[in-house]
Amino acid sequence: MKASAEPGCGEEVHPPLIVVVGPTAVGKTAVSLRLASGLGGEVVSADSRLFYRGMDIGTAKPSPQERAQVAHHLVDIADPDQTVGLAEFQELAYAAIEDIHRRGGLPLLVGGTGQYVRAVVEGWRVPRVAPDPALRAELEVQAERDGPAALHARLQQLDPEAAARIDSRNVRRVVRALEVCLTTAQPFSMQRTRASRSYRTLQIGLTMERAALYERADRRLDAMIAAGLEAEVRSLVARGYGFHLPAMSGLGYLQFKPYFEGQATREEAIAEIRRATRRFIRHQYNWFRLSDPAICWFDVLQSTPVEIEAQVRAWL
């Protein structure tokens, strides 16, 4: 078993941080609950979908019983019409980790949002540039009028390094990079430097054979539908949270829009969630690569949570 190899990870003066990553539906919640319960830990969520109140079923948010069993941080910290950006998340995560250490606990950073995990683990210096609604609206109009590729080409001209890292189809990230470039008159990539880390970090990756993971994701979606996912989305819309909001554009929510507007059937909406979930899983594996030597990978079909805990104990 290999720990993260960055400088300082073997020095006892640095407090430990356990990181649990992996694609959606792989079982991060179950493993993190086992580790936290057995090791006196608390979970710091690095899943951007769990920030928002009232979005419980579609995000597979830990249940009240699970959150009573183990303390969870950065869950239900904003309303769906608010935005928790990367810089704000990073500050909140560091504060939560520091608080857990101060009380003698073990923090577990858990989530599948790769950008958020790496911002904490690698100590990114994230640009503290406030959102500019007018500029964002202008850029979004351009993307809608000319297509995402045209917006990405504009970023390519201003900041080739950032453009190379950001998928042209991810309009939200392209808009944010352009917003920072245009607001500060400096390339977005130049402002995303890294600071030295202060944790002794063990990164645990959970994975399984892709076909089995897709099947598990399908079963989880069936359970979400049975639990009232459609009603949850309808309730959010009725409360004024439109699909234009970043929170409502996520997996399991935006796909209901054509159905609610009479442009698709319920079955078509659910089928699109299944397809989008598989795309999302592939995207997550691009962030968390099986070849990454900093991540200790466990196949959850071959390794039990008890076995994973035993190896974490040995590392600690």
Q: Render pLDDT for 117-127 as a digit per residue (tens, 0 to 9).
A: 999 999 998 87
238 and 226 in one domain? yes
The CATH code of the domain that includes 245 is: 1.10.287.890
Q: CB under 8 Å to 24, separation ≥6 — which residues?
A: 60, 112, 217, 251, 277, 280, 281, 284
The CATH code of the domain that includes 40 is: 3.40.50.300
249 and 153 in one domain? no
111 and 29 in one domain? yes
Q: What is the 3-state secondary structure (H, E, C) of 183-223?
A: HHCCCCHHHCEECCCCCEEEEEEEECCHHHHHHHHHHHHHH
pTM (two decimals): 0.81
Q: Render pLDDT for 187-241 as a digit per residue (tens, 0 to 9).
A: 766 655 555 568 999 999 999 999 999 999 999 999 999 999 999 999 999 999 9
170 and 26 in one domain? no
Range of the domain at 235: 211-282
Q: Render pLDDT for 60-106 as a digit per residue (tens, 0 to 9).
A: 999 999 999 999 999 999 999 998 999 999 999 999 999 999 999 99
Asked whether residue 248 is assigned to any structural domain, the reply reads yes
As for how many domains the chain has, the answer is 3
Asked whether residue 227 is assigned to any structural domain, the reply reads yes
Q: CB under 8 Å to 199, separation ≥6 — which residues?
A: 9, 14, 15, 16, 17, 97, 121
Residue 2 has pLDDT above 70, yes or no: no
Asked whether residue 9 is assigned to any structural domain, the reply reads no
175 and 85 in one domain? no
97 and 21 in one domain? yes
Interatomic CA distance for residues 198 and 194, integer angstroms: 12
Query: Average per-residue pLDDT in the chain?
Result: 90
142 and 107 in one domain? no
93 and 28 in one domain? yes
pLDDT at 197: 62
216 and 204 in one domain? no
200 and 78 in one domain? yes
Asked whether residue 175 is assigned to any structural domain, the reply reads yes
